[in-house]
Structure 1
Amino acid sequence: MMKVEMVTRKGRRGCLLKNFVKENRADMNSEGGALLANLVEYEELQESSLINNDLIDAGFRMIQHFKYWELIKSDFINMQIFDILIGNQDRHPYNWMLLFFNDGDVKFSPIYDNGASLGWRFTDEKLMTMVTDPAMNKYTKNTKLKAGLFERKSVKGKDLLVYINKHFPEECERSIQNLITFDMEEYSQFINSLNILSQAQMKWLLHIIPFRKRKILEWLGREEEQ
């Protein structure tokens, strides 16, 4: 994850972002979309009429032709699980990056630009309603993601999860194990320590992440550790 500090300046909230390219001493970096655009299938995919599982399948068949796919596969799948957890609606191909090093090494960059998630457009009043709303299940199930593959199209998070679990079982399992062992108590303490959040935002964040975690495991037929 990119290192970020929340700050306020003259009454306005913002973020300070640490330059991970310099921090990792990379010689060059390039966004995923710029790299994938070299694939013949890329533009065809962006302009296609495919939807749902057909679109997911076409996207992953495309990226497997990417020369660095085997190097980034585990991190790319891990990013999908994370984005399903937070409901990130904007992980388009230009929202992830590769770092290139002088010795020829290539690495997936830290994850960045995660703002379009976690009910980011909801008012405090809406957040409080959503915490107790029976429609929360539908809201989570219908969450749409760009999966790091689509510029203007989106797919359901549940469909994406089921697909990667079937086609990339080893990588998916490693990510799911991280999710299963995620320390919710430490997460709760962290959220409660953020005085920059409103009470509604705190209650929402303390509710939505455990809820989404349970739904992800439920979709895969798994159980949480007790």
Structure 2
Amino acid sequence: MEYNIIDISEFEIEEFEQLGTKSKFWYEDNNGDSYLFKSIKTQNKAMEDVFRYGEDWAEKIASELAELLGIPHAKYELATYNGMDGVISPNFILGKGERLSTGNELIERMNATSSTENDSIQRITRVFTIMERIIKRKPIGFKELDKIKTASDFFVGYLMLDSLISNQDRHVENWGMIETDKATTHLAPSFDHAASLGRNESDEKRRIRLDTNDIGRSVETYVLKAKSHFYNTSNSRLKILQAFENSARINPSAAMAWLERLSDLEDSMIYQVISRVPEERMSFTAKQFAYEIIRCNKNNLLKLKKEINTFIV
């Protein structure tokens, strides 16, 4: 059965979302629940229309995979608003007085209280220090899992998800902390996974990589080139798989626990998640390409288990 495409044209725009660069707005449904609509249509600096085709289905597939893996995430549904394709997501800040602080704010907060931190570059070690010293707690409303209990433990899972789907957009505004009115702090669910699954490639380029006998142009090589928004000591961007590897060195028990969950994710389940996207939104070639990306990334991640196991004391 295909995923539904929800038409929200009847609802009035309550507020435009300032965070990020895409066309986003908040609205309330008939039950009074708050939703964010994200359109694939946006504008460049010259105020010209730009269409980010594939961001809708990439977000939906990422959401479904996160659900299967038990990774806390913002939920997404395919949607349309006055003819504009996009996705909707219910507000995950539900409690009275809850507030979201994004990664850039948290890095600035840590810099202000540290004599050794003096820049805003996103590094794995810096982010995990924030997880352990500032955020500390698991996402609100999500259960602890075996060997996965703290903010640090869950964030390792976010980085595994990034590696699985080749998400290249985990920048400082795409993770964060929720603070309650009682001043308890929790990791926010994982959100904004649209820059993944090769959504920006043309079907022509996808087909070349799917059919080639040239290893240099294959999907296997393609996924290894994907870069994260985490930086090494030379201020070069880490590859996405490297970012997960580095997190595994810091928290190997959680990494192994997440990889065990990944090993239970059968290829047939992955195929089913992708195949349910309506063809009016995602072509057959794009589905094949996304499946191969996930399959290759899954294999690369599971190959790390032996090495990560040596990090566990």
TM-score, normalization: structure 2?
0.60
- What is the match of residue 285 of structure 2? 200
Report the alpha carbon displacement of residue 20 of structure 1 after superposing the two structures with TM.
0.8
Q: 1:21 aligns with which of 87, 93, 103?
A: 93
More strand by share: 2
Contact 1:162-1:220 at 8 Å conserved across structures: no
Q: 3-state SS of the aligned residue for 1:30?
A: strand
C-alpha distance in structure 2 between counterparts of 1:214 and 1:13, whole Å: 33
Report the alpha carbon displacement of residue 142 of structure 1 after superposing the two structures with TM.
2.2
Contact 1:91-1:146 at 8 Å conserved across structures: yes
C-alpha distance in structure 2 between counterparts of 1:147 and 1:176, whole Å: 21
Q: Which AA in structure 2 matches 1:213?
A: K
Contact 1:88-1:115 at 8 Å conserved across structures: yes
Report the alpha carbon displacement of residue 157 of structure 1 after superposing the two structures with TM.
2.4
Q: 2:119 aligns with which of 44, 66, 83?
A: 44
C-alpha distance in structure 2 between counterparts of 1:132 and 1:209, whole Å: 17
Runs of 4+ displaced beyond 6 Å? none
- What is the match of residue 181 of structure 2? 102
Structure 2 residue ranges without an equivalent (≥5): 1-72, 138-150, 308-313
Q: 1:6 aligns with which of 78, 86, 106?
A: 78
- What is the match of residue 140 of structure 2? none
Contact 2:231-2:238 at 8 Å conserved across structures: no
C-alpha distance in structure 2 between counterparts of 1:12 and 1:130, whole Å: 30
Judging changes above 3 Å, is the alpha-carbon distance between structure 1 residues 43 and 143 closer, same or farther for their aligned structure 2 residues? farther
Greater RCO (Cα-Cα under 8 Å, separation 6 or more) = 1
Q: How does 1:150-189 map to 2 (within 5 A)?
A: 154-189=237-272
Report the alpha carbon displacement of residue 61 of structure 1 after superposing the two structures with TM.
4.7
Q: Which AA in structure 2 matches 1:64?
A: T
Q: 3-state SS of the aligned residue for 1:6?
A: strand
- What is the match of residue 300 of structure 2? 215
Judging changes above 3 Å, is the alpha-carbon distance between structure 1 residues 88 and 73 closer, same or farther for their aligned structure 2 residues? same
Contact 2:259-2:305 at 8 Å conserved across structures: no
C-alpha distance in structure 1 between counterparts of 2:133 and 2:250, whole Å: 19
C-alpha distance in structure 2 between counterparts of 1:148 and 1:27, whole Å: 30
> Which segment drifts farther, 189-198 or 59-68?
59-68
Judging changes above 3 Å, is the alpha-carbon distance between structure 1 residues 83 and 216 closer, same or farther for their aligned structure 2 residues? same
Q: 3-state SS of the aligned residue for 1:68?
A: helix
Contact 2:135-2:186 at 8 Å conserved across structures: no
Tell me the percent identity. 21
- What is the match of residue 112 of structure 1? 191
Q: 3-state SS of the aligned residue for 2:269?
A: helix
> Which segment drifts farther, 175-184 or 139-148?
139-148
Q: 3-state SS of the aligned residue for 1:98?
A: strand
TM-score, normalization: structure 1?
0.80
Q: Which AA in structure 2 matches 1:97?
A: G
Say yes or no: does 1:83 pair with 2:162: yes
C-alpha distance in structure 1 between counterparts of 2:176 and 2:157, whole Å: 14
Judging changes above 3 Å, is the alpha-carbon distance between structure 1 residues 132 and 4 closer, same or farther for their aligned structure 2 residues? same
Report the alpha carbon displacement of residue 147 of structure 1 after superposing the two structures with TM.
4.0
C-alpha distance in structure 2 between counterparts of 1:175 and 1:84, whole Å: 12
Q: 1:142 aligns with which of 200, 219, 225?
A: 225
Contact 1:96-1:111 at 8 Å conserved across structures: yes
> Which segment drifts farther, 153-162 or 94-103?
153-162
C-alpha distance in structure 2 between counterparts of 1:67 and 1:11, whole Å: 46
Q: 3-state SS of the aligned residue for 2:200?
A: coil
More helix by share: 1
Q: Which AA in structure 1 matches 2:105?
A: A
